[in-house]
Chain A
Amino acid sequence: MTSPYGTEASTDRDRSLIRSGTRQVKERVVGALFAACAGISVLVTGGIIVILLSETLGFFSDVSLLEFFTETRWTPLFREKHFGILPLLTASVQVAAGAAILALPAGLLTAVFLSEYAGPRLRSVLKPVLEVLAGIPTVVYGYFALTFVTPALRAVFPGTEIFNAAAAAIVLGIMVLPTVSSLSEDALRAVPGALREAAYGLGATKAEVTTRVVVPAGLSGVIASFILALSRAFGETMVVTIAAGNSPSLILNPLESIQTMTAYIVQVGLGEASGGTLEYRTLFAVGMTLFTITLAMNWLGLRIRSRIGGGGHARR
């Protein structure tokens, strides 16, 4: 007994089989296409490392590692050449440390205020202000450092040079403050409400709850925000290029001109150093040093942050 629909059903099935065959091919192609897109990110990382590494190795065939890390003078663009990274490295550290003195406490306190004290209405005003601060281009911060902060410093400390580390550090501090406050606030808000309730239940004041319960509980997230902000200040280019000067020196006087690693890279980039020369290769040796240090800091910061499960959790 054949069903009246028999033939129709079988052609339908055939058709759907053929369709599912092309469908599978299409599925594969589309999936591979998306995978290739994601693979580009690996290529970029690989590209950075291969290019930096190959030119850096070229650099170290002419300059010994010992000289690079122990020599105290950096004069690759002069006739008498010395290749000691220390003056550039200490300058970058000095500026980042100066920024940290301002940004870490102020950022954490801002996070405390936003997470524990400010009401929803005040928060809805303050958050966008900090977001705007975070979105201002670095060249604008450089302008601010040179035309506002430096003159202000010179009014207070008349011996301040036009280009100085302090102005750059202060402005970098303002620049990374939103990084600290927003990441720390995420960490503080992720602290379970029950912990706060318990402390209040024991008769603690708001300040005691904040300083002895909430901040210690969110500490790893706060530390992660510190590390990520420091790494940003350390690798920043425009502010230090515009405001901190171009004179590599080991002297740690914040009112004097210095040259950070990033500012040196710009100095060579603006000149016409031709490929293959030692000057051109210094670019990569310095870039590699900068890349390695910031990568280590970011990796550490992100690791701590992901271990605590990031932000965005409701408070209760």
Chain B
Amino acid sequence: MPDARERQRGAGLGAGPKSARRRREDRQIRLLAALATLIGVVALLVLLLDVVADGWRYLTPHFFFNFASRFPERAGIRAPLLGTIWVVGLTGILSFPVSVGAAIYLEEYAPRNWFTTAIRTNIANLAGVPSIVYGILGLALFVRFLGMGRSVLAGALTVSLLTMPMMIMAAQEAIRAVPRDRRLAAFGLGASRWQVVRHQVLPYALPGIVTGAILALSRAVGEAAPLLMIGYLTFIAFAPAGLGDPFTVLPLQIFSWITRGEEFRGLAAAAILVLLLLLLGMNVVAIVLRNRFYKGK
């Protein structure tokens, strides 16, 4: 706001002692706000440097291809990497269609009454439930009650429960951004509601929906607590081959190495680097998609 800044200099500050105090106070607040902003920036830098310093020398090709091992120098992340792909892929398959359907219902179909308002509030509240609570739910419902055991499917279903609220809200936002005129014009030509959704709303909103879904899935990639409840085995030296197999994922492997002792810390840091790079990749894809979409409009 350069105009405001000029105005501030021109404001009625004279040369008296009171004006000097006000000027000093003005500078102090500005400095304080700038310093506070630095806390976040510095924390991020220190965190990244800490992880890189501890982990970079473990990032060798065989770190990616080896399974876990009792010997730090031979251990790798093959099992958790493939496990992450299984769980997150399945989570995407399970949660994406349902989330988009729910968002379409809420934005295009739902009448404005107390019931749909309750659903909306409910979804926003679900997004704030601590992830460990979903872990308890997954353990009781999928692992125990439905007898899925500590399997890929139980893990993906549990993670789906907590990604869905985020995905629904992102899809709702994308659908809400579709101009009203488009819908009205199509309705005016005699299109039915489903035709409007299918030919006007969805094509326009799809890039936004996909971007939101990728971001929600990137939260799932980093999620550890609920999977700790349903799938944690300390030592997994194989990749899952089917939905019923036990699994591990990158965050669980990191947790395992952190708690295993000093000599495994470097491995934990290296796996963190891989996890962060994976998240970075997903975010870049999402951002590119979003930018391309907005450039097109």
- On A, residues with C-beta under 8 Å from B are 23, 26-27, 30-31, 33-42, 44-45, 47-48, 51-52, 55, 102, 105-106, 109-110, 112-114, 116-119, 126, 129-130, 132-133, 135-144, 146-148, 174, 177-178, 181, 196, 200, 203-208, 210-211, 228, 231-232, 234-238, 241-242, 262, 265-266, 269-270, 275, 283-284, 287, 290-291, 294-295, 298-299, 301-302
Contacts and interface: CB of A to CB of B under 8 A. Distances in A.
B122 A148 contact: no
Contacts of A269: 135-136, 139, 228-230, 232
In the A-B complex, the 7 residue pairs with the closest CB atoms: A137-B222, A235-B130, A37-B101, A109-B36, A203-B12, A34-B105, A298-B128
- Judged by DSSP, the binding face of A is helix
A234 B135 CA distance: 16
5 contacts: A41-B102, A205-B26, A234-B130, A298-B124, A302-B121
B22 A208 contact: yes
Contact of B98 (A23, A40, A147): A40
| Candidate in B8, B32, B128, B276 with the most chain A CB atoms within 10 angstroms | B128
B30 interface: yes
Contact of A206 (B4, B12, B265): B4
Contacts of A48: 129, 133-134, 137
B2 A143 contact: no
A52 B105 contact: no
B106 interface: yes
Contacts of B225: 138, 237-238, 241, 262, 266
A295 B194 contact: no
Interface string B81-121: 00000000000000001111110111011100000100101
A207 B30 contact: yes
Interface stretch (B57-65, B161-169, B206-214, B237-245): B161-169
A38 B119 contact: yes
Given A33-B101, A238-B224, A142 B37 contact: no
A140 B272 contact: yes
B259 to A, nearest CB: 7
A149 to B, nearest CB: 10
Contacts of A242: 255, 258-259
Interface stretch (B39-47, B67-75, B179-187, B289-297): B39-47
B39 A147 contact: no
Nearest to A55: B140
B33 interface: yes
Contacts of A205: 8, 11, 13, 22-23, 25-26
B194 A113 contact: no
B201 to A, nearest CB: 12
Contacts of A299: 125
Interface string B1-21: 110110110011100000000
Interface residues of B, number: 97
Given A137-B275, A237-B225, A110 B128 contact: no
A117 B136 contact: no
B136 A265 contact: yes
Contacts of A126: 37, 41
Contacts of B1: 116, 119
Contact of B254 (A133, A135, A143): A143
Contact of A140 (B51, B119, B125, B134): B51
B268 interface: yes
B131 interface: yes
A91 to B, nearest CB: 15
A45 B126 contact: yes
B283 interface: yes
